[in-house]
Amino acid sequence: PLSHNRRSARRKMTKVKIGKKTTGPRAKKPVVKYTVDCKAPVDDNILDPAQLEKYFQDRIKVEGKTANLGEKVSISRDKARIHVQAELPFSKRYLKYLTKRYLKKQQLRDFLRVIAPKKETYELRYFNINQEEEADE
């Protein structure tokens, strides 16, 4: 009986699927659109959105390489918002990571935080320091 079990296990492993699903060469990958809203710090002249946009262009990796955006990732800016449009796979969390690194580099990480108010948006907000001081008193 033991050898019979081995044979059936071997048969199960060697089964091959015949009908493969193939997508055509022209099948486009889904595109995601993310926004980083820097309105509050830009209004106070603390942050320059053009520099953040340039930072994204220099640092975003596509297929493991920086400065390899090509047609897969496009970055645009209108006033204080930076829009990143990318083919999947592209992580929203990666955008948050890069934004936090930029804030750290500019020594703004102690004052600003990155929050996701909507599914495809990040927003830079100030820490609520005044509320903490009132609670201590």
pLDDT, one tens digit per residue, over 85-103 is 999 888 999 999 999 999 9
Of the pLDDT bands very low, low, confident and very high (cuts 50, 70, 90), residue 23 is low
The residue-averaged pLDDT of 32-38 equals 93
Residue identified by tokens 């400065």 is 67
Looking at residue 67, its pLDDT comes to 81
Task: Check if the beta carbon of residue 80 is closer than 8 Å to that of residue 38.
Answer: yes
Task: Check if the beta carbon of residue 120 is closer than 8 Å to that of residue 92.
Answer: yes
Of the pLDDT bands very low, low, confident and very high (cuts 50, 70, 90), residue 68 is confident
Of the pLDDT bands very low, low, confident and very high (cuts 50, 70, 90), residue 8 is low
pTM across the whole model: 0.71
37: which residues sit within 8 A by CB, 6+ positions away?
80, 81, 121, 122, 123, 124
Q: Mean pLDDT for the chain?
A: 82
- Cβ-count burial 1-11 (b if 16+ within 10 Å, e if not): eeeeeeeeeee
Residue 137 has pLDDT above 80, yes or no: no
70: which residues sit within 8 A by CB, 6+ positions away?
62
